[in-house]
Amino acid sequence: MKKLLPLLAFGALGLTFSSCIEERIDVGSPETEGFSNALTLEFNSDEFATLSQSLDIDQTITMASVNVPFHIQMTSGISTVDQTSSDARKALLGRVLFYDSRLSATGETTCASCHKQEAAFSDDIAFSNGINGAVTKRNSIALGSVPTFAPVISGYGSSGDEQTAQVDGDVRFFWDERAGTIKEQSEATIQDELEMGKDIHELSSELKELEMYKILTMKAFGTTDLTPDRITLALEKFTSSIVSMNTRFDQMRDEEIFSGVISGNFTASEREGAQLFRSNCSSCHGDEMGKPRINIASNGLDEVYSDKGVGERSGNSWENGIFKVPFLRNVALTGPYMHDGRFNTLREVIDHYSEGIQDHVNLHPNLKGNNNQPRRMNFTEAQKQALIDFLETTTDQSVLVDPRFSDPFRE
Ligand code: HEC
Ligand code: HEC
């Protein structure tokens, strides 16, 4: 219970904050022309006609409402995550930015080139194609669980105009966790010379002049001034609205909690996989497939890492080979796997944990045996398949086809 209390408090706080901020921003913004209309969820017919020249979107913006599975309600005290009107308006601007090739210096990439909706917003190759023939240094990370249930578990304060949404302090972004917020991460990505190579101030000056962005920015922020800060905030609102909580995995957990038994809706193999995951994997990845229990670790991929991960950034040898513990929701769709995309299939991942863990000096104790040597889980064939079957239950099919996350551009 000790652990539950702060979570509950956080959840409640998040909700309170979001409504206060919403009021302050919406009421306090300047009385620009068209401002009163900016606060509604509908574009007027002139606006809609202009937008429709380049975009295929609805005239009315929908606010997302996600039902929180029971097992997550227990730790959060919240039964639905309801997007505020303010967040929905910003997320729409963010969606357009996410798919706009103007964000890259050469027009070659959009955020979606490396975060594809059909692949749960990951890329299907180990290193993504950037601009000017460059490739990324690491494997793209799936965005389907970026919010880390932040609205639920940590009270993701719906940030106002000038604020940065604070994701639960200790959840950070990128494989080496160098970014503290998605805003920070987005700015880094846009300016990264391999990925998009665009100066964010130049980008802001360019986009501000376009009618389409004037309308969308007015709707999102009550002003047409699309500053760098507002660009990254809108991208953050979009990416955090992608929540994967509608899965068979969640149904299985709920059944287990409600009745203590898992029904025949789940195969014997899936049930066995759930048990195996609990005894071998959830000590790091967590039981809820949400926030991991341990944020960063070495899982013993190599004895000597060529990419040192957190150690590369900090220069500390005790952080060599240490990487973010990734979210596993939708994992069946997000291969190739690991920071360098070395494994093409889940089977290869399971083989690694079963018999391939290397004796790296920083190997996490959860993957060591009593003799202080790398653990050998030595799964049988059936157990390996059970783990794969179980991991496949975490796929949220709705995220892959939800029009709120799809490419809004006409051509
Ligand atoms: C050229 C490919 C590419 C493009 C374009 C790209 N990304 Fe990424 N993205 C990556 C890679 C690779 C990583 C992992 C990088 C690392 O950890 O060093 C990543 C990581 C992320 C993460 C961190 C996720 C986590 O859980 O830690 C977020 C969020 C993200 N990208 C969002 C975006 C947004 C928003 C855009 C557009 C502004 C974008 N990306 C454009 C390849 C790309
Ligand atoms: C010591 C903590 C720890 C334990 C225990 C652990 N993992 Fe991991 N897992 C990690 C880390 C860290 C990574 C990322 C490593 C990297 O890329 O260098 C990872 C990566 C993964 C990935 C790749 C995900 C992606 O998007 O690339 C999968 C799948 C995975 N683990 C499944 C499992 C399974 C199944 C088990 C149990 C058999 C397990 N893990 C046990 C820490 C752990």
Q: Is pLDDT larger for residue 22 or for residue 308?
A: 308
Q: If pLDDT is split at 50, 70 and 90, which confidence band does 14 have?
A: very low
CB 325 near ligand 2, within 6 Å: yes
pLDDT digits (tens, 9 = 90+) for 244-282: 888 999 999 999 988 888 888 999 999 999 999 999 999
227 burial level (CB within 10 Å; 0-12, 13-18, 19+) = middle
Closest CA to 161 of 239, 230, 227: 230
200-204's contacts with Cβ under 8 Å and 24+ in sequence apart are: 200/228, 200/231, 200/232, 201/228, 203/102, 203/103, 203/228, 203/231, 204/228, 204/231
Cβ atoms of 47 and 54 within 8 Å: the answer is: no
pLDDT of 394 higher than 90? yes
pLDDT of 284 higher than 60? yes
pLDDT the model gives residue 39: 79
pLDDT the model gives residue 297: 96
pLDDT the model gives residue 18: 34
pLDDT the model gives residue 326: 93
Over residues 150-179, the mean pLDDT reads 50
Cβ atoms of 269 and 260 within 8 Å: the answer is: no
pLDDT the model gives residue 153: 30
Rg over alpha carbons for the chain, rounded to the nearest Å, is 22
Q: If pLDDT is split at 50, 70 and 90, which confidence band does 298 have?
A: very high
Cβ atoms of 173 and 196 within 8 Å: the answer is: no
pLDDT the model gives residue 66: 82
Ligand 1: centre distance to CA 143 (Å): 8
pLDDT of 35 higher than 90? no
Q: If pLDDT is split at 50, 70 and 90, which confidence band does 369 have?
A: very high
pLDDT of 9 higher than 90? no
Name which residue sits closest to atom 30 of ligand 2, judged by CA. 349
Q: Give the C-alpha separation, 156 to 167, whole Å.
A: 6
pLDDT of 121 higher than 50? yes
CB 366 near ligand 2, within 6 Å: yes
Separation in Å, CA 118 to CA 184, 234, 353: 25, 22, 27
pLDDT digits (tens, 9 = 90+) for 108-117: 999 999 999 9
> Which ligand has an atom closest to residue 144 CA?
1
pLDDT the model gives residue 13: 27
CB 338 near ligand 2, within 6 Å: yes
pLDDT digits (tens, 9 = 90+) for 302-322: 999 999 999 999 999 999 999
Residues ≥6 apart with Cβ < 8 Å to 101: 107, 108, 109, 110
Q: Give the C-alpha separation, 399 to 99, whole Å.
A: 16
Q: Give the C-alpha separation, 85 to 188, whole Å.
A: 28
pLDDT the model gives residue 215: 97
Highest mean pLDDT: which range of 36-50, 136-150, 190-204, 288-302: 190-204
Degrees, nearest 5: CA angle 371-374-379: 110
**Across all residues in the chain, what is the average pLDDT?**
85
pLDDT the model gives residue 34: 57
CB 273 near ligand 2, within 6 Å: no
Cβ atoms of 282 and 293 within 8 Å: the answer is: yes
- Least confident interval from 31-40, 163-172, 380-389, 401-410: 163-172
Measured in residues, the chain has a length of 411
pLDDT of 123 higher than 80? yes
Ligand 2: centre distance to CA 325 (Å): 6
CB 140 near ligand 1, within 6 Å: yes
Name which residue sits closest to atom 6 of ligand 2, judged by CA. 281
Ligand 2: centre distance to CA 42 (Å): 44
CB 18 near ligand 1, within 6 Å: no
Ligand 2: centre distance to CA 131 (Å): 30
CB 154 near ligand 2, within 6 Å: no
Ligand 2 site-directed mutation target among 146, 340, 349, most atoms within 8 Å of CB: 349
pLDDT the model gives residue 303: 96
pLDDT of 157 higher than 50? no
pLDDT the model gives residue 231: 97
Ligand 2: centre distance to CA 85 (Å): 37
Cβ atoms of 115 and 182 within 8 Å: the answer is: no
Ligand 1: centre distance to CA 140 (Å): 6
First to last CA, the chain: 53
Cβ atoms of 87 and 19 within 8 Å: the answer is: no
283 Rama class: left (phi>0) / alpha (psi -120 to 50) / beta: alpha
Report the percentage of the chain scoring pLDDT > 70: 85
pLDDT of 4 higher than 80? no
